[in-house]
Structure 1
Amino acid sequence: MNLFETTLEKIVENDALHAKLLNTLSLMENVGARKISKYEHPVHVSLTVLKHAAEEARHAFYLKKQIGKLDENLCPDYSAEYLLAPIQSHQYLHQLDAKVCRYLYGRGLTGRAMQDAAYILVTYAIEVRADDLYDIYQRVLTKHNSKVNVKSIILEEAGHLEEMTRMLNEFDANWKPIADDVCKIEDELHQQWIKGLVEEVA
């Protein structure tokens, strides 16, 4: 059992902490949805991008709604007092986006080409993480017979990962080493986030 799973065990056992986790994940999904909407080209928007934005927003709503299974009075909004590791959670996606853009700029990409590449690569890294994160979370929820579940999100995130892999193949036939670099950048931020969760639980 890794540090993240051990921390989740402690969180799920406490309704107040668990509600904050759900609220935090909802916030992060909502930030993702807003980032996709901001990225969208005013004219040339694909069905895949629209679908992705809609599903991220739905995940934010779904996670927020799950809080009611614990206590409807918990975590009314995204204020810092209702989040776990609020600074890391707010900055996570923004930092990842900025770091990946700097990485791509170093490889000679600028303007819309850089934005398109960053969208695909950042989303891919997030989907790889989400695939693992929600799987571990559901395992802990099942173990504790929790009323909360994230099974529908797991199914949709798996579909997102397939779509992003297809888009990466279209972006660059030799995308794997680039995606690996981006996943390393994401992992550093994820570890900082976990550290923030551990400190809150402690």
Structure 2
Amino acid sequence: MVMEDFPRQAITLTQTSGSHIVKTTSDRISMIPIQFAFQVDPAAPTCYEGVFLPRFLTPTPEQGAQFYSPINQALKINIRAGATQSMITELLYSGPYNVVKSSSGSGNFSLTWTPSAGEDGQSHPICFLVQASVSSSVYQSELRCVIVTVGNNPPSTTVPITDPPPQKCKNDNIEVKGAVLYTNGWKLSQTKKSGVREDFRIRSKMEA
């Protein structure tokens, strides 16, 4: 597979020799070949969250939650998950390149991001899921994404969050081995859940 990068509007690139090249929205800026392997795990004994599949707990933000963060001030997103028949092992995430992950015990994680002045007024998605294991089997939670808008207005607010009832989910987890990708300052995590739409400005095609 090949990943290609196209500008959203016409831009002018300056070469090291001093010459200029104009790129339109139909002109490719770069092309990077991508290689990865899929590992398909066996189906979970039960598809109910909180048993083998990790279940998000308070104070994990809901899918689509909106955060506001002032420039040069750290925003901390707390994430908690549990499962009765498997062991929580790690948090997988994607977001701005300088997001920092930390753990304070099994099933308790946090993502911290400090936006810079150059990101004022921008909105960035941060996506995450929790992974658990039993012996050689790996199980994943649902994928959640939140939006962080950089700026002082509107002020940051706290929305009460309650634990949702356990949901029955599908066995559609796919683990990607050996693929950590970077594009336009974004880091794409090694594991993703199938059927989830990724809204990145990337065009891909299979190599011949």
TM-score in same-fold range (> 0.5): no
Report the TM-score when normalising by structure 2: 0.22
User: If each structure's helix is expressed as a fraction of its own residues, which one has the higher value?
Assistant: 1
User: If each structure's strand is expressed as a fraction of its own residues, which one has the higher value?
Assistant: 2
